[in-house]
Structure 1
Amino acid sequence: MTISEGDTVRIEYVGRLEDGSVFDTSDKVLAETEGLLDDNPDRSFAPFTLEVGEDDVIPGLTEALIGMEDGEQKTVTIPPEKAYGEHTDERIAEYERDTFEEMLGGREATVGTEVETEQGLPGEVTAVEDDTVTVDFNHELAGETLEFDIEVVSVK
Structure 2
Amino acid sequence: MQSRVSWVAEVGLLAAFITITSTFKLPGVMPGTEFQLSAPLATAICVVFGFGKYITAGLLSSVVGLMLGTQSLLNVFIAMVFRVTVGLLVVLLGRSWPVIVLAGPIGSAIGRLVLGGIIGKAVIPLLLAALPGMIYTALLTCPVTALLQRVKEQREKVMRHVVQR
TM-score by length of 2: 0.25
More helix by share: 2
Instruction: Return the structure number with greater relative CO, CA threshold 8 A, min gap 6.
Output: 1
TM-score by length of 1: 0.26
Which has more radius of gyration? Answer: 1
More strand by share: 1
